[in-house]
Structure 1
Amino acid sequence: MNKRVAVAFTGPSGSGKTTLVEKVAKVLIEDQKVAIIKNDPKDKAVFDVEGKDSDKFTKTGAEVVVTSPTRTTYFSQREKTLNEIVSMINDFDILLVEGLKTLPLPRIAIFRNRIDESYFSCSEAIAVDESINLADYAIPENIDILDLNNTQNIIEWINTHAKQI
């Protein structure tokens, strides 16, 4: 089995986390198996259509798997640890995690317009665009600065810093 690695992305709402994860995944998936975990701290995501069988099954509170010739969907009613999720997904080369600041993974914090310095303590890198004037901030020396609009630059950082899991 290939080594499996993971990296996390964090940042304020509207900073571009989803867009960046999407761009990175589209490049990496050309020659690697990519998995993505998205944190939904406010429990807002909707995954099913009201009234359909799978929705009715999910509302029972049971663990539900819906399978078809092209996909398998797992509806869990329980919070899962990273290790539990990794063992469920199992077959991947790189895991991209959006959110979940508490996980011990190398983390890129994403900012537009303003840097929230509270993210420095949980990040190994920041990705910013031209809307940020870096001179306005005291960025710790141990934090790498990446170009938010240079996907290849970010992938190179990921290839060097992603953590084996």
Structure 2
Amino acid sequence: MIYQGIPVLGISAWSGTGKTTLLTQAIPLLCDAGLHLGIIKHTHHSFDIDIPGKDSYRLRKAGAEQVIAASRHRIAHIREIGRDQAEPSLDDALATLHTDTLDLILVEGYKHSPIPKIEVFRASLKKPLLCIQDPQIFAIATDVLDFSARDIDVLDINNVSAFADYVIRWAQNARAAHAA
């Protein structure tokens, strides 16, 4: 998937598989390679990124549906989703990104969205493979190195450098295919 000229790549797995761990290890390598990344993280749990007692928190708790906290170093947009509103889709999340400087958007979660994905799989968790049912999964980062469940690229989940190189090549190819 290309969004506003930027490749979008999903990192898909069951909860507890290590998606965030793999990404936090790979992101510095991707940034060192010159990529500017946007990350969309989907969660099924309620969360609050604001700090109780801070002005932005107090304004939101007073009833503001949206609060933007901005400084020289970052900007955060906090939007409350009402109980009568649908959960934001991947398209909703993509639309909130400021894409002017991005080279690649990585999506952690939204595993049922129709975007190209790399599955993260650990045999010890005894969860079913997503790639069997999801044709959008074109590679798997796993600790099962004799993987043969489907004809897709197999990456060693413990070789973060090779994973990052694979993502870089994928992004370059996706961008080139889009430009053609």
Cα distance in 1 between the residues matched to 2:69 and 2:75: 6
Residue 32 of structure 1 pairs with residue 35 of structure 2: yes
Indicate the residue corresponding to 1:77 in structure 2.
80
Indicate the residue corresponding to 2:150 in structure 1.
140
Residue 149 of structure 1 pairs with residue 158 of structure 2: yes
Residue 62 of structure 1 pairs with residue 62 of structure 2: no
1:48 to 47, 50, 75: 50
Please report the TM-score for the alignment, with normalisation by the length of structure 1. 0.81
Residue 124 of structure 1 pairs with residue 130 of structure 2: no
1:146/1:153 contact within 8 Å kept: yes
Secondary structure class of the residue paired with 1:97: strand
2:105 to 95, 102, 109: 95
Larger displacement relative to structure 2 (16-25 or 79-88): 79-88
Secondary structure class of the residue paired with 1:23: helix
Cα distance in 2 between the residues matched to 1:13 and 1:86: 22
AA aligned to 2:142 is V
2:121/2:129 contact within 8 Å kept: no
Count of matched residue pairs: 158
Indicate the residue corresponding to 2:116 in structure 1.
106
Deviations 1:11-30 (A, max 9, x none): 12221100111122211122
Flag structure 2 segments of 5+ consecutive residues without an equivalent: 82-86
User: Kindly tell me: are residues 80 and 12 of structure 1, through their superposed partners in 2, closer, same or farther at Cα, counting changes over 3 Å?
Assistant: closer
Flag structure 1 segments of 5+ consecutive residues without an equivalent: none
Q: Percent identity?
A: 28
2:90/2:110 contact within 8 Å kept: no
Q: State the Cα distance separating 1:34 from its structure 2 match.
A: 0.5
Larger displacement relative to structure 2 (54-63 or 80-89): 80-89
Secondary structure class of the residue paired with 2:93: helix
Secondary structure class of the residue paired with 1:119: coil
User: Kindly tell me: are residues 114 and 84 of structure 1, through their superposed partners in 2, closer, same or farther at Cα, counting changes over 3 Å?
Assistant: closer
User: Kindly tell me: are residues 118 and 97 of structure 1, through their superposed partners in 2, closer, same or farther at Cα, counting changes over 3 Å?
Assistant: same
Deviations 1:80-128 (A, max 9, x none): 4433433432221101110001222111111222453341222222111
2:8/2:105 contact within 8 Å kept: yes
